[in-house]
Amino acid sequence: MTLHGGLLERLFWRAGTLLVVVYALLPVAWIVSLSLKPAAALNDRRFLPRTISLEHYRAIFSDAQFPAALWNSIGIASIATVLSVLLAMFAAYAIVRLRFRGRQLVLAAALSIAMFPPVAVIGPLFELWRTLGLYDTWPGLILPYMTFTLPLAIWTLAAFFREIPWDLDQAARVDGATPLQAFRYVIAPLAAPGVFTAAILVFIFAWNDFLFAAALTSTNAARTVPAAIAFFTGSSRFELPTGSIAAASVVVTLPVTLLVLLFQRRIVAGLTAGAVKG
Amino acid sequence: MIDRRDPAEERLGWLLCLPSVMAMLLVTGYPILYAVWLSLFRYDLRFPDQRAFVGLANYASVLTSELWWESLFNTLIITLGSVALELVLGMLLALVMHRVLFLRRTVRASVLVPYAIITVVAALAWKFAFDPVTGFVDPWFGVERAWLAERWSAFLVIILTEVWKTTPFMALLLLAGLTLVPQDLLDAARVDGANAVQRFFRVTLPLMKNAVLVALLFRTLDAFRLFDTVFVQTRGAQGTETVSIVGYHTLVTRLNLGLGAAVSVLIFACVVAIAVLFVRGFGASFTTEEHR
CA dihedral (B103, B108, B111, B115) positive or negative: negative
Q: Are strands B52-53 and B41-42 parallel, antiparallel or unpaired?
A: antiparallel
Q: Which tens digits make up the pLDDT trace of B80-118?
A: 999 999 999 999 888 888 877 667 777 777 888 888 899
Which span out of A52-56, A103-107, B57-61, B160-164 was modeled with the highest average pLDDT?
B160-164
Q: Which tens digits make up the pLDDT trace of B184-206?
A: 888 888 888 888 888 888 888 88
Q: CB distance B214–A94 less than 8 Å?
A: no
Backbone φ/ψ region at B15: left (φ over 0), alpha (ψ -120 to 50), beta:
alpha
In a domain, B29, yes or no: no
Q: Rounded to whole angstroms, how far apart are CA atoms B64 and B57?
A: 10
DSSP conformational letter for B143: -
The whole-number pLDDT of residue B163 equals 93
Interacting residues of B265 by C-beta distance below 8 A, sequence separation 6+:
A120, B32, B35, B36, B39, B59
- CA of B7 vs chain A CAs: smallest distance (Å): 8
Boundaries of every domain in chain A: 1-53, 61-272
Backbone φ/ψ region at B235: left (φ over 0), alpha (ψ -120 to 50), beta:
left
Mean pLDDT for chain A?
83
Asked if the model's pLDDT at residue A29 lies above 80, the reply is: yes
- B175, B94 contact by CB (below 8 A): yes
- Per-residue confidence band for B5, with pLDDT thresholds at 50, 70 and 90: low
Q: CB distance B21–A116 less than 8 Å?
A: no
Per the model's pLDDT, the better-predicted residue between B83 and A53 turns out to be B83
Helix axes B104-116, A7-36, angle to 10 degrees: 40
Interacting residues of B109 by C-beta distance below 8 A, sequence separation 6+:
A261, A264
The whole-number pLDDT of residue B102 equals 67
Average pLDDT score over residue span A28-32: 90
Cα–Cα distances in angstroms (integers) from residue A208 to residues A132, A174, A214, A237, B119, in the given order: 25, 47, 12, 26, 6
Interacting residues of B142 by C-beta distance below 8 A, sequence separation 6+:
none
Average pLDDT score over residue span A157-179: 82
What is the CB neighbour count within 10 angstroms for residue B273?
10
- Per-residue confidence band for A212, with pLDDT thresholds at 50, 70 and 90: very high
Mean pLDDT for chain B?
84
For residue B145, the enclosing domain spans 66-290
The whole-number pLDDT of residue A87 equals 93
In a domain, B178, yes or no: yes
Q: Is B6 on the interface with A (CB under 8 A)?
A: yes
Q: Which residues of B touch A110 (CB under 8 A)?
A: 20, 24
Average pLDDT score over residue span A146-153: 90
List the 10-29 stretch of B: residues with Cβ below 8 A of A.
Answer: 10-14, 16-17, 19-21, 23-24, 26-28
Q: Rounded to whole angstroms, how far apart are CA atoms B188 and B270?
A: 44
Q: Which tens digits make up the pLDDT trace of B215-248?
A: 888 889 888 988 989 998 888 788 888 999 998 9
Which string of DSSP letters, residue by residue, matches chain A? -GGG--HHHHHHHHHHHHHHHHHHHHHHHHHHHHHHS-GGGTTS--SS-SS---HHHHHHHHSSHHHHHHHHHHHHHHHHHHHHHHHHHHHHHHHHH---TTHHHHHHHHHHHHT--THHHHHHHHHHHHHHT-TTSHHHHHHHHHHHHHHHHHHHHHHHHHTS-THHHHHHHHTT--HHHHIIIIIHHHHHHHHHHHHHHHHHHHHH--HHHHHH--STTT--HHHHHHT---SSTTS--HHHHHHHHHHHHHHHHHHHHHTHHHHHHHHHTTTT--
In a domain, B42, yes or no: no
Average pLDDT score over residue span A65-73: 91
Asked if the model's pLDDT at residue B154 lies above 80, the reply is: yes
Angle at B114 between CA B113 and CA B119, to 5 degrees: 130
Average pLDDT score over residue span B27-34: 86
The whole-number pLDDT of residue B1 equals 47
Rounded to two decimals, what is the model's pTM? 0.87
Asked if the model's pLDDT at residue A278 lies above 60, the reply is: no
- Per-residue confidence band for B126, with pLDDT thresholds at 50, 70 and 90: very high
Least confident residue range of A208-212, B160-164, B280-284:
B280-284
Asked if the model's pLDDT at residue B289 lies above 50, the reply is: no
Q: Which tens digits make up the pLDDT trace of A227-257?
A: 988 887 655 455 568 888 889 999 998 888 8
Q: Which residues of B touch A90 (CB under 8 A)?
A: 16-17, 19-20
The whole-number pLDDT of residue B144 equals 77
Amino acid occupying residue B150:
E
- Per-residue confidence band for A79, with pLDDT thresholds at 50, 70 and 90: very high
Q: CB distance A102–B231 less than 8 Å?
A: no
Q: Of the candidates B222, B278, B252, B258, which has an alpha carbon nearest to the alpha carbon of residue B56?
A: B258
The whole-number pLDDT of residue B3 equals 53
A61-272 under CATH 3.40.190.10, yes or no: no
The whole-number pLDDT of residue B286 equals 55
Q: Rounded to whole angstroms, how far apart are CA atoms A187 and A167?
A: 10
- A39-51 core/surface letters (b: 16 or more CB in 10 A; e: else): eebbeebebebee
Q: Rounded to whole angstroms, how far apart are CA atoms B204 and B172?
A: 16
Q: Which residues of B touch A272 (CB under 8 A)?
A: 172-173, 175-176
Q: CB distance A17–B248 less than 8 Å?
A: no
Residue in chain A lying closest to B263 (CA):
A120
What is the CB neighbour count within 10 angstroms for residue B126?
28
Domains: count for chain B: 1
The whole-number pLDDT of residue B284 equals 60
Average pLDDT score over residue span B150-172: 90
Asked if the model's pLDDT at residue B275 lies above 90, the reply is: no
Residue B44 bridge partners (DSSP): B256
Task: Identify the three-state secondary structure at position B57.
Answer: helix
Residue in chain A lying closest to B106 (CA):
A21
- Per-residue confidence band for A126, with pLDDT thresholds at 50, 70 and 90: confident
Q: Which residues of B touch A21 (CB under 8 A)?
A: 103, 106-107, 110
Q: Rounded to whole angstroms, how far apart are CA atoms B160 and B166?
A: 10
Residue B243: HSE in the Cβ half-sphere, 13 Å Cα cutoff: 31
Q: Which residues of B touch A25 (CB under 8 A)?
A: 110, 113
The whole-number pLDDT of residue A184 equals 80
Share of chain A above pLDDT 90, in %: 21
CA dihedral (A243, A203, B161, A126) positive or negative: negative
Residue in chain A lying closest to B220 (CA):
A115
Average pLDDT score over residue span A109-115: 79
- Per-residue confidence band for A190, with pLDDT thresholds at 50, 70 and 90: confident
DSSP conformational letter for B240: T
The whole-number pLDDT of residue A140 equals 93
The whole-number pLDDT of residue A237 equals 53
In a domain, B98, yes or no: yes
- A159, A273 contact by CB (below 8 A): yes
Cβ neighbourhood burial of B216 (10 Å; 0-12, 13-18, 19+): buried
Q: CB distance B119–A208 less than 8 Å?
A: yes
ipTM, two decimals, is 0.86
Please name the helix (run of DSSP H) or strand (run of DSSP E) that holds residue B41, with its range, or none. strand B41-42
- B134, A246 contact by CB (below 8 A): no
The whole-number pLDDT of residue A72 equals 94
CATH number, residue B161? 1.10.3720.10
Q: Which of B106, B115, B227 sits opposite A21 (nearest CB)?
A: B106
